[in-house]
Copies of this chain bind each other. A is one copy, B any other.
Amino acid sequence: MEMETVATHSEPRTGPRLTSRSMNPEGTVVNVGGVPIGGKEIVVMAGPCAVESLEQLSVTARIVRDHGGAVLRGGAFKPRTSPYSFQGLGEEGLKLLGQVKGETGLPVVSEVMDTREVENVAKYADILQIGSRNMQNFPLLKEAGDSRVPVLLKRGMMATIEEYLFAAEYILSRGNPSVILCERGIRTFESSTRFTLDLNAIPILKHETHLPVIVDPSHGTGHRWLVPSMARAALAAGADGLLMEVHYCPEDALCDGTQALYPEDFGKLMEELRKIAAAVGRSIYVPA
């Protein structure tokens, strides 16, 4: 029963951790519905912060796909500071993600906040996202580790690199090797951005671990006008991918509208990213 399980996992490990670069020096490539994350090609994941309606998701997904995005993001369960803010569409949102995935062929990443929802979200999403506020929600990490679905684990806004790698270790140690790391901004004294996107984390993580590392410049800065600069910088620093918010009509977004890119800005940015990728000897992944 439970105690046995705990006992197994609390034995001190000898040798390197499962997340150590030395466990897989060439780097792990996580396969998500045919999209390889962590290889030579850079993967762009984009979409709205929250799933709001079929029209919103469907139109935005086509914009993402047509400009070269390879994975669709969209939250059905939303962690919100206030209980009185929009909390996401829940189950209904998952179904819309499933429907739009069918329409566009884009694999889907969506957040799971509750251990009891892991199985359900995994029915619709190709990647389970664990958000910044849950980076040290250990029961959730264990549950995600027990599933066999790739996990996008966001860095806690207050987490050191070492704590972050230990959080990933929770997932790997349960038998799930498919973890994608994502820098999304840390909390500092600076108040002109919502968070301080910490691009230093990219080369450090690539040095310490074999797991893929992507960057979320939308949450990391909180302002859409900062996204293009920081997205370019992330690729130049060695990121394996980007997670960005795009909305067909940011003014109407129910959540975080100020950080979502307009469709035309997303297209322009993808052009710039292709040039940066080439400058570092890589390319942007294009779905077949």
Where the two chains meet, the residues of A that have a C-beta atom closer than 8 Å to any C-beta of B are 2-3, 5-6, 9-13, 52-53, 79-93, 113-116, 133-134, 136-139, 156-158, 160-163, 166, 169-170, 173, 186-193, 196-200, 202-204, 207, 220-221, 225-226, 229-230, 232-238, 272, 275-276, 278-280
Contacts and interface: CB of A to CB of B under 8 A. Distances in A.
A187 B158 contact: yes
Contacts of A221: 200
Contacts of A233: 199, 202, 233-234, 236-237
Contacts of A81: 136, 163, 166
B137 A137 contact: yes
Nearest to A234: B233
A191 B188 contact: no
Contact of A203 (B160, B200, B226, B276): B226
A197 B199 contact: yes
A189 B84 CA distance: 24
Contact of A162 (B137, B192, B198, B232): B192
A138 B237 CA distance: 34
A170 B237 contact: no
Contacts of A207: 225
Contacts of A12: 84
Nearest to A145: B83
Contacts of A276: 236, 276, 279-280
A238 B196 CA distance: 17
A88 B5 CA distance: 9
A173 B87 CA distance: 14
A13 B84 CA distance: 7
Nearest to A203: B229
Contacts of A189: 158, 160, 186-189
Contacts of A203: 225-226, 229-230
Given A186-B189, A207-B225, 15 more contacts: A2-B91, A5-B89, A6-B87, A6-B88, A10-B85, A83-B173, A116-B116, A158-B187, A160-B190, A187-B187, A204-B226, A236-B236, A236-B237, A276-B276, A276-B280
